[in-house]
Structure 1
């Protein structure tokens, strides 16, 4: 059974009297541990598809099954609990709490799961070291570069060991060198822990990090092909990122 099964998903927005079809009839299966890139230009429907899979939007028609559960039938409360247990997010704009330190930001998903402060601090420290931020743990977002903030975001997304991590334009605010380091960290971490990573991007260079590239255009899948990730097997065996992005 596939981890994610998207069945006949359609999304239509109404703007005044006009109907705008964001997604046509999308069918898609994603397996546990896959690194998938949903690639498309602005307006292709890629972010809408991610939002529907993550329960942030409801489809007009169709269903999404995750681990055999029809999540499109979930209430908001059911979705909140399901996300806490199964899903991590990496955002383009980082979405860190500005008044909190890196440790506090990373520990937040564990707090929502009811884990005690000592344990969640220990896990947050471990994750920050894993993404190369051992010397930035007590820094707040305003004291860090964009690349460092995104690495905090990655640590936060993976700290609770989710089944799925959704990354929506995760390098959109970063320069090309920093983007490469961030992608290597994120892909390596997902592969080491056999977690499913779904990346949404318009950038073909970012798509090269995925094992599978799903190309969207005007709300339809126009291609779905395997890809040889530029993160090599040798790199996957290393501890996630290290010197990929300089502190």
Structure 2
């Protein structure tokens, strides 16, 4: 992924609000990158632009050599369907569906048969420690268990890029560690690019690089020694 001179300006009445200004960033395949910043820093806007959920006011965003800001909405939807997974802070599970059904949902849109998608969903749920919760619905699971379902759903389609937006924001410290080890472990195992957006420096330490965002600008970029090591 390569971002070149990215800016995002919102117009509120006659006022202009600059959310991001001249962002330049490259993220190589297989890297775990953390976008770190406080509320209002522009980090969530940056995630939305990289995921193609919003379009930049100016600049280019290339993923797999394609300028996603030039794609039509239909092309973008297909691109995300084939190459992108999401882990959300609020889990975003469908309450009427079981764990297996929630995880297998993205595969329906790819035309994968029911038997195959259920097998893949069960395998992922076992990998995240939920083999005994396959038929449980979200209201029958804890927050940590729901987030594990969300992780399995994000990875079930074997996307090349996973975006994790404050993935542990609703979890206690013990569950946070478990979830971060899960997300980063699966991504590393499959050489997937993982982009984590957070305000928590402890979460950032699981990444290969930390991109600090302040007032819509990249303040600095730091590498970490290891996935859980000290910052250089």
Query: What are the within-5 Å matches in structure 2 for residues 1-247 of structure 1?
Result: 4-231=1-228
Find the counterpart in structure 2 of residue 239 from structure 1.
Answer: none
Instruction: List per-residue Cα deviations over 1:80-118 (Å, max 9, x = no partner).
Output: 100110000000000001000000000011111000000
CA distance in 1, matches of 2:129, 2:179: 11
TM-score where L is the length of structure 2: 0.97
Cα distance in 2 between the residues matched to 1:158 and 1:98: 20
Q: Distance in 2 between matches of 1:113 and 1:223?
A: 39
Structure 1 residue 163 displacement after superposition: 0.4
Cα deviation, residue 231, structure 1? 4.3
Question: How many Å separate the matches in 2 of 1:230 and 1:157?
Answer: 20
CA distance in 2, matches of 1:204, 1:231: 12
Figure out how many residues of one structure are paired with residues of the other and give that number. Answer: 229
Unaligned 5+ segments in structure 1 are 233-247
Residue 16 of structure 1: CA displacement?
Answer: 1.8
1:188 and 1:231 in contact (8 A); partners too: no
What does residue 242 of structure 1 align with?
none
Shift of 1:225: 1.4
Aligned to 1:241: none
User: What TM-score, normalized by structure 1, do the two folds share?
Assistant: 0.91
Cα separation, 2, equivalents of 1:189 and 1:230: 13
Q: Deviations over 1:112-151 (max 9, x none)?
A: 1000000000000000000000000100000000000000
Structure 1 segments (4+ residues) deviating >4 Å: none
* Aligned partners of 2:60 and 2:67 also within 8 Å: yes
Deviates more, 1:12-21 or 1:104-113: 12-21
Say what the alpha-carbon RMSD is for the aligned residues: 0.9
